[in-house]
């Protein structure tokens, strides 16, 4: 085999050694969870931004991704040798069909009204309303985690 032929074959050989499953972007609604089945065994999972999404490892072939807030992040999974075996961008959307924004004296207050209206702070809402609701949500998260 000529030298030029060997150089062309080298990238192809590398592609067969490590098969990375690069998935299509995964769209998840905020506050919902989707299962992701993985080919091969996974030893570790890395998530780009934990404020946008969360990941829970069920077993070495199944993870669950939960949308936390609107935005984009990514997830990568590695086998025990450190080889990347899965990668996907995660797009978290918000279902706005039940959202109601009340404007009082020029300040916005957002509520999710399905089936009853509960405060759902959104960027641009009145500062103390936003801070108060976020503080309560953070407190509930800490309690749920046993902190």
pLDDT tens per residue across span 75-111: 999 999 999 999 999 999 988 899 999 999 999 999 9
- pLDDT single digits (tens) 111-129: 999 889 999 888 899 999 9
Answer whether residue 2 is part of any domain. Answer: no
Is residue 12 included in any domain, yes or no?
Answer: no
pLDDT at residue 17 in the model: 45
Are 103 and 123 in a shared domain? yes
Q: Hey, what are 44's tokens?
A: 């570790």
> For residue 139, is pLDDT > 90?
no
As a whole number, mean pLDDT of residues 14-32 equals: 74
The answer on 86 and 116 residing in a single domain is no
Q: Would you say the pTM of this structure is higher than 0.75?
A: no
Write the pLDDT tens digit of every residue in 33-65. 999 999 889 999 999 999 999 999 999 999 999
- CA separation (Å) from 129 to 48, 49, 67, 124, 133? 29, 25, 23, 11, 6
Domain range for 128 is 99-144
Q: How far apart are CA 69 and CA 4, in angstroms?
A: 50
* Nearest Cα to Cα of residue 65 among 82, 81, 45: 45
pLDDT tens per residue, range 65-80: 999 988 999 999 999 9
pLDDT at 45: 96
Q: Are residues 41 and 89 in the same domain?
A: yes
In this model, does residue 7 exceed pLDDT 60? no
Cβ contact 52:118 at 8 Å = no
């Amino acid at each position: 085999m000529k030298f030029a032929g060997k150089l062309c074959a080298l990238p192809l050989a590398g592609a067969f050694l490590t098969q990375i499953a690069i998935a299509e972007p995964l769209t998840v609604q905020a506050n919902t969870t989707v299962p992701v089945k993985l080919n091969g065994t996974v030893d570790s999972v890395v998530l780009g931004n934990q404020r946008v999404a969360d990941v829970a490892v069920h077993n070495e072939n199944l993870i669950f991704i939960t949308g936390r807030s609107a935005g984009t992040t990514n997830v990568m999974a590695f086998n025990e040798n450190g080889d990347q075996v899965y990668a996907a961008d995660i797009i978290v959307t918000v279902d706005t069909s039940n959202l109601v924004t009340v404007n009082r004296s020029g300040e916005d207050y957002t509520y999710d009204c399905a089936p009853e209206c509960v405060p759902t702070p959104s960027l641009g809402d009145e500062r103390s309303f936003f801070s108060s609701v976020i503080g309560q949500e953070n407190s509930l998260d800490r309690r749920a985690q046993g902190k």
